[in-house]
């Protein structure tokens, strides 16, 4: 792959209900923060990708509603429906196409404006599945059961992910749910859908994130600290849930392998310094870490207990507080990328991890990790 | 201005009704379910996997499937959950009574898992690997609700 870099990131705070903001208001804030961060103005942006989901936004062609506020006037603007990492992937390919030197990528969501369970229920097949009423939480609970049954990962270990990430969020001023909690607090919180307690689940959230991707030539002209895109890949699993072994994430394993190969990474356990993974539920952080090859299959719980994934651990995971501390669907993956950019620049403030050179950002599209997008980012070209 | 000064508007009772084509495979599947209380799946001519719910193409092999095979009505629980939070039934718009059980059922003879309700009268028996049987609805209309639920058999 030709070289490309992320030269600007911006995000709104993550909140449970941004009642003062429309989608466009959030986009305006995130886009201007990204432009300021990059030391650019809108005329330096060659094309725009907006990322959204029509069901979540409650309207069709939801991406166009944020066009003006995203600086898309008179520019080639295209839209991706899904997680922000997938929007960024498209943005990257455009920057690499030779037609555009820079791509602005945005992703937004306002979970506060709808009934989340009805929205995620609508992701199921309308003929065979939807009328049974399953939603993201119940589907993920079944995945959690399958994963725990196969690996022996315990509810206490799941709870520890919640303790860690809500604790990390206390250091992140943009986070929605900083909490001082114990494993016991998690286990005693309301059982939502076995085996998931309330504190095993991420909250409903509003936010927007924007990043600016530049090809090598334009990145060279950039005065700040570019973060280089070393490898990126996405893979998908089968559409019907029943076709998948829900206790495993083969699409993630494939995506990670391809992204590492592109980045020249031979041993991800040694070569990745920090990771932001899609922890919509506690078990997902553990399951995805294994799928990403960042620890051996079934070992994540034990390593978590040893403190290896803490901010000062061997491999800090979700130092920002992760999605458990604020889960703006769609924006979620783009925020993972932006957080790794901050880490690699050494600008993550109180949750800065120790001198990372290479980081992984991970996004998910579809329920229970139907498709995964893996980004390997580096400080050095 | 404080947060309470910002205005919210409601979408009201607006609906977006759809009529989904069930297709040739699904129509046959539901007719069997309704008329004969039988589950039928489609077998891939290349990898030999039996798919349920039925669909025209094996994604792995990228070939068409035409061979019908009977599966179930018994099977084992592949995974399950017991829902304990309030949830609106997308069909009726009413609150669903909680708790209730969901499961992925591996029907005998099938290679994929089938999603449905699990009876949780005795929660202690609802486990991964437990054998279950299908309980059919008395009035069947040719839909997924022609099955009432699966229940654990000893
Ligand atoms: Zn096949």
Residue contact B79–A138, C-beta within 8 A: no
Q: What is the pLDDT of residue A248?
A: 97
- The average pLDDT across A93-108 equals 96
Residue B141 lies inside a defined structural domain of this protein: yes
Q: What is the pLDDT of residue A1?
A: 81
- The average pLDDT across A253-272 equals 98
**Residue in B26, B61, B84, B90 to test binding to A, most A beta-carbons within 10 Å:** B90
Number of structural domains found in chain B: 1
Tell me the CA–centroid distance for residue A370 and ligand 1, in Å.
19
Residue contact A132–B102, C-beta within 8 A: yes
Residue B5 lies inside a defined structural domain of this protein: no
- Whether residue A131 has pLDDT greater than 90: no
Q: What is the pLDDT of residue B85?
A: 87
* pLDDT tens-digit series, residues B112-135: 999 999 999 999 999 999 999 999
> How many CA atoms within 13 Å lie on the side-chain side of B8?
12
Residue B14 lies inside a defined structural domain of this protein: no
Q: What is the pLDDT of residue A100?
A: 97
Separation of alpha carbons A3 and B80, rounded Å: 46
Residue B129 lies inside a defined structural domain of this protein: yes
- The average pLDDT across B24-37 equals 96
What's chain A look like in SS3?
CCCEEEEEEEECCCECCCCCCCHHHHHHHHHHHHHHHHCCCHHHCCEEEEEECHHHHCCCCHHHHHCHHHCCCCCEEEEEECCHHHHHHHHHHHHHCCCCCEEEEEEEEEHHHCCHHHHHHCCCCCCCCHHHCCCHHHHHHHHHHHHHHHHCCCHHHHHHHHHHHHHHHCCCCCCCCCCCCCHHHHHHCCEEECCEEHHHECCCCEEEEEEEEEEHHHHHHCCCCCEEEEEEEEEECCCCHHHCCCCCCHHHHHHHHHHHHHHCCCCHHHHCCEEECCCCEHHHHHHHHHHCCCCCCCCHHHHHHCCCCCCCCCCCECCCCCHHHCCCCCHHHHHHHHHHHHHHHCCCHHHCCCCCCEEEEEEEECCCCCEEEEEEEECCC
Residue B3 lies inside a defined structural domain of this protein: no
In contact, A283 and A158? CB cutoff 8 Å: yes
Residue contact A117–B82, C-beta within 8 A: no
Query: Which residues keep their CB under 5 angstroms from ion ligand 1?
Result: B 44, 46-47, 58, 60-61
Residue B103 lies inside a defined structural domain of this protein: yes
Residue B10 lies inside a defined structural domain of this protein: no
What is the CB neighbour count within 10 angstroms for residue B63? 14
Determine the distance in angstroms separating the CA of B146 from the nearest CA of chain A, rounded to an integer: 11
pTM of the predicted model as reported, rounded to 2 decimal places: 0.96
* Residue-averaged pLDDT of chain A: 96
Determine the distance in angstroms separating the CA of B34 from the nearest CA of chain A, rounded to an integer: 14
Q: What is the pLDDT of residue B13?
A: 79
- The average pLDDT across A123-150 equals 93
Q: What is the pLDDT of residue A374?
A: 98
Residues of chain B neighbouring A239 (CB-CB closer than 8 A): 59
What are the structural domains of chain A? 4-115+205-221 (3.40.47.10)
In contact, B98 and B83? CB cutoff 8 Å: yes
- Whether residue B88 has pLDDT greater than 90: no
What's A230-248 look like in SS3?
EEEEEEECCCCHHHCCCCC
Q: Percentage of residues in chain A with pLDDT exceeding 90?
A: 91
Q: Does B61 touch chain A (CB under 8 A)?
A: no
Structural domain range at position B146: 19-152
Residue contact A243–B59, C-beta within 8 A: yes
Q: Does B39 touch chain A (CB under 8 A)?
A: no
Q: Does A141 touch chain B (CB under 8 A)?
A: yes
Residue contact A242–B91, C-beta within 8 A: no
- Whether residue B73 has pLDDT greater than 90: yes
């Amino acid at each position: 792959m030709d070289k490309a870099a992320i030269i600007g990131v911006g995000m709104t705070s993550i909140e449970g209900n941004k009642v003062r903001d429309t989608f466009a208001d959030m986009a305006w804030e995130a886009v201007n923060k990204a432009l300021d961060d990059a030391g650019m103005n809108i005329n330096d942006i060659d094309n725009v990708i907006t990322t959204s989901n029509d069901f979540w936004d409650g309207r069709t062609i939801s991406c166009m509603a944020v066009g003006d506020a995203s600086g898309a006037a008179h520019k080639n603007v295209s839209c991706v429906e899904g997680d922000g990492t997938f929007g960024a992937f498209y943005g990257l390919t455009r920057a690499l196409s030779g037609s555009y030197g820079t791509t602005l990528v945005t992703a937004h969501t306002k979970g506060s404006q709808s009934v989340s369970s009805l929205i995620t229920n609508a992701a199921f097949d309308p003929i065979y599945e939807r009328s049974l009423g399953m939603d993201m939480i119940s589907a993920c609970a079944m995945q959690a059961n399958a994963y725990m049954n196969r690996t022996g990962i315990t509810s206490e270990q799941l709870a520890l992910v919640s303790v860690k990430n809500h604790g990390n969020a206390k250091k992140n001023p943009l986070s929605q749910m900083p909490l001082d909690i114990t494993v016991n607090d998690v286990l005693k919180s309301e059982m939502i859908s076995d085996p998931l307690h309330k504190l095993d689940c991420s909250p409903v959230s509003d936010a927007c994130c924007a990043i600016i991707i530049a090809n090598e030539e334009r990145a060279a002209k950039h005065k700040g600290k570019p973060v280089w895109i070393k490898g990126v890949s996405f893979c998908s699993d089968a559409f019907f849930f029943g076709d998948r072994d829900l206790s495993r994430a083969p699409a993630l394993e494939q995506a990670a392998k391809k992204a590492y190969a592109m980045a020249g990474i031979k041993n991800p356990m040694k070569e990745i310094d920090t990771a932001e993974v899609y922890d919509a539920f506690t078990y997902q952080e553990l399951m995805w870490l294994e799928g990403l090859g960042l620890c051996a299959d079934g070992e994540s719980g034990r390593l978590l207990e040893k403190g290896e994934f803490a901010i000062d651990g061997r491999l800090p995971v979700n130092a920002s507080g992760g999605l458990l501390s604020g889960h703006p669907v769609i924006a979620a993956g783009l925020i993972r990328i932006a957080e790794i950019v901050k880490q690699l620049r050494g600008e993550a403030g109180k949750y800065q991890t120790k001198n990372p050179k290479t980081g992984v950002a991970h996004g998910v599209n579809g329920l229970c990790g139907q498709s995964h997008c893996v980004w390997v980012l580096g400080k050095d070209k | 201005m404080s947060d309470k000064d910002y205005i919210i508007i409601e979408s009201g009772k607006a609906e977006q009704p759809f009529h989904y084509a069930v297709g040739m495979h699904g129509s046959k599947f539901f007719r069997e379910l309704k008329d004969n209380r039988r589950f039928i799946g489609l077998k891939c001519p290349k990898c030999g996997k039996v798919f349920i719910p039925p669909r025209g193409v094996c994604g792995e092999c990228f070939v068409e499937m035409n061979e019908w095979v009977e599966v179930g009505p018994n099977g084992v629980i592949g995974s399950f959950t017991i829902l304990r939070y309030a949830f609106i039934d997308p069909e009726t718009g009413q609150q669903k009574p909680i708790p209730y059980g969901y499961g992925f059922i591996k029907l005998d003879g099938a290679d994929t898992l089938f999603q449905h309700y699990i009876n949780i009268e005795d929660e202690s028996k609802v486990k991964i690997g437990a054998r279950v049987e299908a309980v059919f609805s008395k009035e069947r209309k040719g839909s997924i609700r022609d099955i009432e639920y699966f229940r654990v058999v000893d």
